[in-house]
């Protein structure tokens, strides 16, 4: 059922072992590592599939609200893990980390980020080609708003990076202006990010990003760094 969302009351109640069995004991909310990167509205999972073998020591998670799309990504990951597990030891085409560091959950990221993640748990949050909600009366449904930025700032650690990419100029301006205005985020000039393989993947590895590329569309990028909390100074 599309209307029933399953989410923990708090991060301590989250069973991560289902998602990362190589890293968490059965039933555990804590392990040797914690999820550090979240792809919000991950769609079909292209970013995660590209980044997981590149950063095998980082636990990354896709969050997707559509049931069938979440299931598709879960199947994709399960299949990749199975392939890795059946490769002979030292196979040249083996993906580092065996795809054990990537998972997906069905979640409404506009409501439940703090249910899944503790304060400062994340070091990267991605908003890649989010739904534009063009009509003015629907803009409050956009995934980046002032109220929601407070929640994303809460789960992002100081120094963490929020990546936004879109092909819709108006949405780019909306997201960037809200982030610029927010006291806990600082703009990172895109030139400073040049050569960042993560930004490169964020621009090109998602299914939506590929579609925009095929259609020769523009891509608008804006990255922001999470600043320290004022009371920490
Ligand atoms: N990021 C992917 C890409 O670049 O290919 C998907 C882009 S797609 C246009 C936007 C995705 O965000 C959709 O799959 C949609 O179901 C998902 N989404 C929208 N609102 C969401 C929410 N509140 N929480 C989680 N996912 C959401």
- Write the pLDDT tens digit of every residue in 167-220: 999 999 999 999 999 999 999 999 999 999 999 999 999 999 999 999 999 999
Ligand 1 mean position, distance from CA 78 (Å): 21
Model confidence at 73: pLDDT above 60 = yes
Model confidence at 79: pLDDT above 70 = yes
Q: How far is CA 40 from CA 103, 116, 127, 184, 231, in A?
A: 13, 13, 6, 19, 28
Ligand 1 mean position, distance from CA 206 (Å): 11
Verify whether ligand 1 is closer than 6 Å to residue 207 (CB atom): yes
- Write the pLDDT tens digit of every residue in 105-150: 999 999 999 999 999 999 999 999 999 887 888 888 888 888 899 9
Please compute the mean of the pLDDT values over residues 10-34 and round it to a whole number: 98
How far apart CA 90 and CA 83 sit, in angstroms, is 14
Instruction: Give the residue, out of 38, 39, 40, 41, with the most ligand 1 atoms within 8 A of its beta carbon, to mutate for a pocket test.
Output: 41
Verify whether ligand 1 is closer than 6 Å to residue 108 (CB atom): yes
HEC assignment per residue over the chain: CCCCCCCCCCHHHCCHHHCCCCCCCCCCCCCCCCEEEEEECCCCCHHHHHHHHHCCCCEEEEEECCHHHHHHHHHHHHHHHHHHHHCCCCCCCCCHHHHCCEEEEECCHHHHHHHHCCCCCEEEEEEECCCCCCCHHHHHHCCCCHHHHHHHHHHEEEEEEEEEEECCHHHHHHHHHHHHHCCCEEEECHHHHCCCHHHHHHHHCCHHHHHHHHCCCCCEEEEEEECCCHHHC
How far apart CA 207 and CA 44 sit, in angstroms, is 7
Question: Which atom of ligand 1 sits closest to the CA of residue 111?
Answer: 23
Contact 123, 159 (CB under 8 A): yes
Mean pLDDT over all residues of the chain?
95
The predicted pLDDT at position 97 comes to 95
The predicted pLDDT at position 140 comes to 80
Model confidence at 232: pLDDT above 80 = no
Model confidence at 231: pLDDT above 80 = no
Ligand 1 mean position, distance from CA 41 (Å): 3
Verify whether ligand 1 is closer than 6 Å to residue 128 (CB atom): yes
The yes-or-no answer on residue 57 being catalytic is no
Question: Which atom of ligand 1 sits closest to the CA of residue 44?
Answer: 5
How many C-beta neighbours within 10 Å does residue 84 have? 18
Verify whether ligand 1 is closer than 6 Å to residue 144 (CB atom): no
Phi, psi of 177 (to 5 degrees): -70, -35
How far apart CA 45 and CA 72 sit, in angstroms, is 9
Contact 102, 135 (CB under 8 A): no
ipTM of this complex = 0.99
Instruction: Give the residue, out of 7, 60, 64, with the most ligand 1 atoms within 8 A of its beta carbon, to mutate for a pocket test.
Output: 64
Place of tokens 């991605």: 126
Active-site residue identified among 131, 196, 229, 232: 131
Assign 233 a pLDDT band (cuts: 50, 70, 90). Answer: low
């Amino acid at each position: 059922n599309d209307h029933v969302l399953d989410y923990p009351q708090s991060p301590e109640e989250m069973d991560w072992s289902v998602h990362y069995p190589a890293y968490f004991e059965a039933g555990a909310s804590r392990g040797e590592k914690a999820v550090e990167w979240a792809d919000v509205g991950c769609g079909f999972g292209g970013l995660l599939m590209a980044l997981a073998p590149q950063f095998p020591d980082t636990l990354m998670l896709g969050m997707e609200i559509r049931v069938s799309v979440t299931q598709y990504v879960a199947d994709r990951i399960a299949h990749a893990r199975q392939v890795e597990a059946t490769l002979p030891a030292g196979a040249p085409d083996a993906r580092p980390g065996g795809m054990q560091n990537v998972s997906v959950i069905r979640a409404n990221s506009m409501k439940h980020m703090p249910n899944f993640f503790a304060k400062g748990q994340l070091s990267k949050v991605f908003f890649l080609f989010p739904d534009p909600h063009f009509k003015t009366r629907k803009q409050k449904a956009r995934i980046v708003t002032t109220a929601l930025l407070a929640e994303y700032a809460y789960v992002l650690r100081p120094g963490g990076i929020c990546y936004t990419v879109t092909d819709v100029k108006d949405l780019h301006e909306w997201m960037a202006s809200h982030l610029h205005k927010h006291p806990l985020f600082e703009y990172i000039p895109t030139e400073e990010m040049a050569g960042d393989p993560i930004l490169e993947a964020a621009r090109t590895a998602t299914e939506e990003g590929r579609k925009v590329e095929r259609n020769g569309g523009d891509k608008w990028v804006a990255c922001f760094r999470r600043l320290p909390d004022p009371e920490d100074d």
